[in-house]
Amino acid sequence: MFGKKKNFNSARIDTLIGQGTVINGDLIFSGGLHVDGKIIGNVLAEEGTEAMLILSEFGSIEGEVKVPNMVLNGEIIGDVFGSVRVELAPKSRINGSVYYNLIEMAIGAEVNGGLVHESSEKIAPKQLEDKSEKEIDSEAAAT
């Protein structure tokens, strides 16, 4: 009614990792990646892209996943970082923390770790330190 919901299951797929394939090492990609096989290493999207990862129920990843958009239905051993949207389908199993901006979690999905919301507008740690130093200086001047 108010806007179209993107159907992430029909996203354009540029790369397919088949069910019998095992990749040892980090994988950096842009566009759409569909994983039915196994990746032992980190899965990273190129900076500044609207990349999409689809992990099927047959797929698994052992390492960190840093992708803006993802639909997960397989197993991940490692932390997951989704800066735009993370969808956890019913057969997804994550052993690690999930850092997300927007999350959708189906009944049956498992996360053995933390769920941490991170908004797109984060305050840098240096800015927090500067603010606390100013407060300390103003308190010292008041005494």
DSSP-assigned letters across all residues of 83-105: SSEEEE-TT-EEES-EEESSEEE
The CA–CA distances, whole Å, from 8 to 13, 52, 63 equal 11, 8, 23
Name residues whose C-beta falls within 8 Å of residue 108's C-beta, 6 or more positions apart in sequence: 90, 91
What is the DSSP code (8-state) at residue 114?
-
> Cα-Cα-Cα-Cα dihedral of 52, 98, 81, 17, to 10°?
-40
- Full-model pTM: 0.77
**Predicted confidence (pLDDT) per residue in 38-64, tens digit:** 999 999 999 999 999 999 999 999 999
Model pLDDT for residues 88-125, shown as the tens digit of each residue: 999 999 999 999 999 999 999 999 999 999 986 552 33
